[in-house]
Amino acid sequence: MSKVHIQAKINGKDTELLCEPRQSLLEVLRDELRLTGSKEGCNNGNCGACNVLLDGRLVNSCLVLGVEVKGHSVTTIEGIAGPEGLHPIQQKFLEQAALQCGICTPGFIVAAKALLDRKPKATEQEIRHWLAGNLCRCTGYDKIVRAVLEAAR
Amino acid sequence: MTKTSEYRVIGTRPIRHDGVDKVTGRAVYGADVQLAGLLHGRVLRSPHAHARIRGINIKRALALPGVEAVVTGADMPDAGDRVAELGEGAIVLRHLSHNTLAKDKVLYKGHAVAAVAAANPHVAEEALGMIEVDYEPLPPVMDVQAAMRAGAPLLHDDLITESLGKTSGKPSNIAKHFQFKLGDAEKAFALAEVVIEHEFHTATVHQGYIEPHSATAMYNPDGNVTIWTSTQGAFTARQQVAELLALPISKIKVVPTEIGGGFGGKIRVYLEPVAVLLSRKSGRPVKVLMNRADVFEATGPTPGSFIRVKMAADKSGRLTAAQAYLAYEAGAYPGSPVGAGAMCVFACYDIPHVAVDGYDVVVNKPATSAYRAPGATNAAFAVETVVDELCEKLKIDPLDFRAKNGAREGTRRADGPVYPRIGMIETVEAARQHPHYHAPLGGAHRGRGVASGFWFNIGLKSSATASVNADGTVNLVEGSTDIGGTRTSIAMQLAETLGIAAEDVHPVVGDTEMVGYSDVTGGSRVTFATGWAAYEAAQDIKRQMIDRAAQIWSAKPEDVTYNAGLLQCQTDPKKKLTFKELAAQLHATGGTIVGRASVDPPGVGGAFATHVVDVEVDPDTGKVTILRYTAIQDVGKAVHPSYVEGQMQGGAVQGIGWALNEEYVYNDKGVMTNASFLDYRMPTCLDLPMIDTVIVEVANPGHPYGVRGVGEVPIVPPPGAIANAIYHAAGVRLRQLPMSPPRVAKAILAAAK
């Protein structure tokens, strides 16, 4: 299958890549750009482990085709922290012990950022509602919700 | 009880050492492994729940451009009848081999039949569709009771029941029947004043880790193999691959990647041998991945079960006798955790007369694997609801009843052991004192339930080495996959012993060539046993640091003391060095210091938990909402309290999912109809309140810091506690898991008639 030339802004940088039309954005990020922080847990939009921001909007990258991001901006977990250090949500995840195995953590952090970008003072109920698209099997969510609440203070 | 103030590091909450990698997406998990020239492997799986394989034709698949290798069961060497010990359960090698790639029969939908390595994953998937398998479908048997009946379809022609040490001589689906007896239960029941007996059913449920299985293998022309895999035990994976492929263990290196959850399900190998075979055939490194449906359909769930429990008490509320019949589905091959279930079933109670019968039964479902306190949760669901009914009949508060009848030091369990110091009663006392237990329910259709649970925990073998750096930090290499923060809980024990900061230890999980043999991350053993190895490695460092200080001071080693990171010469107290100061002098005084240890500690401390839950039941829909949840557990000593709480919360929530929603739904052809995260309904954060925790610390006398295993027992009480809460909210006793809305609604309707 011939590849398509794509230009997009990935984590703030103008990026060129080649991908097959059948490749999902998640495959393109992981296999073509080697940005493996976005995880595949289900490949059908149910677990949120592959969450990225597409023009600032939260999406499951397994449900977006790579070719669809042509001319758009994508932020992955790798783009959340900068040279100046961790994002406050990342810092709170560490302080609150909001991860165990850590496989769902990138998705939760990207999703939480999307929420707090819109609602910096989100309540517990708003956080639980927003993060219902992200599955975690280790923590029982308690410490994740607390970490996001702390970041929302 | 151990006081926190005794320790400087243990009991504090440092940021985990691998934390930054995991919040930035840099940590490398199984599927993240990238190698030059990497091929992508996919596995062809059986569409039938039960069928004979008459033939497999791989020609068309091999001819597809981009396909580099195809393997089938014919590529697996013949495995003998040896039994491989996996750390948390054992399996016959032949079964493990046939489970990896089927030989002549497929025994469940999703059973691996062949595998392809190709230039990209899409080509590999296309090629799977070109493999022609000639199946002769056979009738499946999907339920433990049906499988036990005479005339049921047989999975294995050569499976002969072993019953109480004797063999029946006839093929059957019942692999094993065993018994535990204490006292004379029959006689005690004959004299009993209050007896409750019920039957229970539990559904097949999955561990539900978010990371699917994966394995990457590189077979070199010299016969050396490297395997990168997400596993709970690199050494156990190495052992299994060696046995399955008839390779010496010295030829295999297993590199454990970060692991995205396991809960017992990532101990047995599935993809590792397949990746090695594909790499050997193609001459290229191969990465094989499962998708989510593969994970549900072809990796180890925990058994569905049929359980009958009968318990008797006298009018004063003292338990006098108990009897249990446990039949667990092993899945396709023998080896369900019914043995553990039978040991745990009455483990929370002091009962003089007990009889337990256990049955291990094969059915056409994936071979079951360990799942967090394997076998215990099914049994506790039954026992804890029967206990609640006894309490109701005797008009005794359920916590008072547990305080009266709970197991304590000196209690004999039906399978033999007498408990050392344990904390069952302390968890009950903590529950009694907790405000949750006395808070008003605050509404209609609400109820409160309690339940207790037990899990043994295990010890097993762990190794560690620790090197002192010139700047006074220590590099620690251990062999236990870090599934939930154990790098830190182990490093903290080393730091405590040396009198240095947790942040001054750099823990690394080694591969099978970097560290001595270490058993699986399972059985809640890592903080206990690998922590012990770190403690011993630190003792080794301390001894050598004392010798070095003595050498520098021209003193005798016995005149040098080491306290809280300070070395001092007792004959000349002006001579003293901190750990850091001495570390800086090591290179100039003979070289660095390396501590090492390999342990197999015997003093495992059993874990008890008591949970309190408030629910609201919607009488129209049968939906159960968890309003408040408090998990109380004896942890021995909480090394890192945040991660201990995390284990308690996570275990409780897995138990809530098991109780309320999770189940494998099969159609009449034995095909799972809900093999996705959408339809296999695990709890989301919207389904739950905060999960309160109470850490009870009854120090384990068998560990230098009093540590007990923590990880598993919190999954045990929830189904029983929730069933009891539903009864107190809606007046119906649910005796089948999951207690999903249709089932609860049906029970409410039936009760109203």
Q: Which of B551, B574, B599 is the last residue of a domain?
A: B599
Strand locations in B579-664 (E): 594-599, 607-617, 624-634
Q: Which of A102, A131, A138 sits opposite B685 (nearest CB)?
A: A131
Q: Assign B580 to helix, strand or coil.
A: helix
pLDDT in tens, B64-76: 999 999 999 999 9
pLDDT in tens, B453-483: 999 999 999 999 999 999 999 999 999 999 9
Q: Assign B645 to helix, strand or coil.
A: helix
Q: Which of residues 41-80 of B touch A (CB under 8 A)?
A: none
Domain CATH number, residue A57: 3.10.20.30
Residue B589 and residue B483 share a domain: yes
* Sign (positive or negative) of CA dihedral B455, B689, B629, A92: positive
Whether B88 is covered by a domain: the verdict is yes
Residue B26 has pLDDT above 80, yes or no: yes
Between CA A92 and CA B145 the distance in angstroms is 50
Percent of chain B with pLDDT over 90: 97
Q: Could you write out the DSSP letters of every residue in B146-200?
A: HHHSTTPPPS-TT-EEEETTEEEEEE-SEEEEEEEEES-HHHHHHT-SEEEEEEE
From A77, A1, A74, A66, select the one nearest A28 (Cα to Cα).
A66
**Structure confidence at residue B641 (pLDDT):** 98
Residue B87 has pLDDT above 80, yes or no: no
Interface touch A138/B650, C-beta < 8 Å: yes
pLDDT in tens, B215-238: 999 999 999 999 999 999 999 999
Rounded to the nearest angstrom, the minimum Cα separation between A83 and chain B is 12
**Structure confidence at residue B3 (pLDDT):** 46
**Structure confidence at residue B86 (pLDDT):** 66
Task: Report the chain A residue with the minimal C-alpha distance to residue B206.
Answer: A137
φ, ψ dihedrals at B497, nearest 5°: -65, -35
Residue A53 and residue A18 share a domain: yes
Average pLDDT over residues A71-77: 98
Average pLDDT over residues B531-548: 98
Q: Is B98 exposed, middle or buried (0-12, 13-18, 19+ CB in 10 A)?
A: buried
Residue A134 and residue A106 share a domain: yes
pLDDT in tens, B648-707: 999 999 999 999 999 999 999 999 999 999 999 999 999 999 999 999 999 999 999 999
**Cβ atoms of residues B720 and B185 within 8 Å:** no
Q: Does any CB of chain A come closer than 8 Å to the CB of residue B588?
A: no
**Structure confidence at residue A153 (pLDDT):** 87
Whether B560 is covered by a domain: the verdict is yes
Determine which of B15, B16, B22, B23 to mutate to test the interface with A (most A C-beta atoms within 10 Å). Answer: B23
Residue B256 has pLDDT above 70, yes or no: yes
Residue A92 and residue A73 share a domain: no
Q: Which of B567, B599, B631 is the last residue of a domain?
A: B599
Residue B738 has pLDDT above 60, yes or no: yes
Whether B196 is covered by a domain: the verdict is no
Q: What band does B741 get if pLDDT is binned at 50, 70 and 90? A: very high
Q: Which of residues 68-97 of A touch B (CB under 8 A)?
A: 76-78, 80-81, 86, 90, 93-97
Domain CATH number, residue A112: 1.10.150.120
- DSSP code of A28? I
Q: Does any CB of chain A come closer than 8 Å to the CB of residue B619?
A: no
Q: Are strands B576-578 and B194-202 parallel, antiparallel or unpaired?
A: unpaired
Q: Does any CB of chain B come closer than 8 Å to the CB of residue A118?
A: no
**Structure confidence at residue B89 (pLDDT):** 65
The model carries a pTM of: 0.98
From B716, B712, B612, B701, select the one nearest B659 (Cα to Cα).
B716
Domain CATH number, residue B489: 3.30.365.10
Interface touch B485/A146, C-beta < 8 Å: no
Residue A75 and residue A9 share a domain: yes
Domain CATH number, residue B122: 3.90.1170.50
Rounded to the nearest angstrom, the minimum Cα separation between B258 and chain A is 8
Q: Are strands B214-219 and B194-202 parallel, antiparallel or unpaired?
A: unpaired
Residue A68 and residue A124 share a domain: no
**Cβ atoms of residues B205 and B371 within 8 Å:** yes
Domain coverage including residue A62: 4-79
Residue B423 and residue B468 share a domain: no
**Structure confidence at residue B4 (pLDDT):** 47
With a threshold of 0.85, tell me whether the complex ipTM lies above it.
Answer: yes
Query: Could you count the other beta carbons within 10 Å of the beta carbon of residue B454?
Result: 29
Indicate the number of domains in chain B.
Answer: 3
Q: Which of B599, B633, B663 is the last residue of a domain?
A: B599
Task: Report the chain B residue with the minimal C-alpha distance to residue A97.
Answer: B642
Q: Does any CB of chain B come closer than 8 Å to the CB of residue A29?
A: no
Interface touch B210/A104, C-beta < 8 Å: yes
Q: Which of residues 278-297 of B touch A (CB under 8 A)?
A: 291-292
What mean pLDDT value characterizes chain B?
Answer: 97
Q: What band does B88 get if pLDDT is binned at 50, 70 and 90? A: low
Residue B248 and residue B102 share a domain: yes
Q: Which of residues 473-532 of B touch A (CB under 8 A)?
A: 483-485
Rounded to the nearest angstrom, the minimum Cα separation between A104 and chain B is 7
Task: Report the chain B residue with the minimal C-alpha distance to residue A126.
Answer: B686
Q: Does any CB of chain A come closer than 8 Å to the CB of residue B646?
A: yes
Residue B443 and residue B316 share a domain: yes
Residue B534 and residue B490 share a domain: yes
Q: Could you write out the DSSP letters of every residue in B373-433?
A: STTHHHHHHHHHHHHHHHHHHHT--HHHHHHHHB--TTPBPTTSPBP-S--HHHHHHHHHH
**Structure confidence at residue B81 (pLDDT):** 81
Between CA A115 and CA B186 the distance in angstroms is 62
Residue A118 and residue A70 share a domain: no
Residue B585 and residue B547 share a domain: yes
Strand order in the sheet with B607-617: B446-455, B607-617, B624-634, B691-696
Residue A122 and residue A71 share a domain: no
From B743, B446, B753, select the one nearest B618 (Cα to Cα).
B446
pLDDT in tens, B343-386: 999 999 999 999 999 999 999 999 999 999 999 999 999 999 99
Residue B312 and residue B219 share a domain: no
Domain coverage including residue B621: 305-457+604-752
Indicate the number of domains in chain A.
Answer: 2
Q: Which of B31, B677, B690 sits opposite A135 (nearest CB)?
A: B677
Interface touch B649/A142, C-beta < 8 Å: yes
**Structure confidence at residue B2 (pLDDT):** 43
Q: Which of A1, A95, A109 sits opposite B15 (nearest CB)?
A: A95
Q: Could you write out the DSSP letters of every residue in B471-538?
A: TS-EEEEE-S--SSSHHHHHHHHHHHHHT--GGGEEEEE--TTTS-----S-TT-IIIIIHHHHHHHH
- DSSP code of B43? E
Q: Does any CB of chain A come closer than 8 Å to the CB of residue B669?
A: no
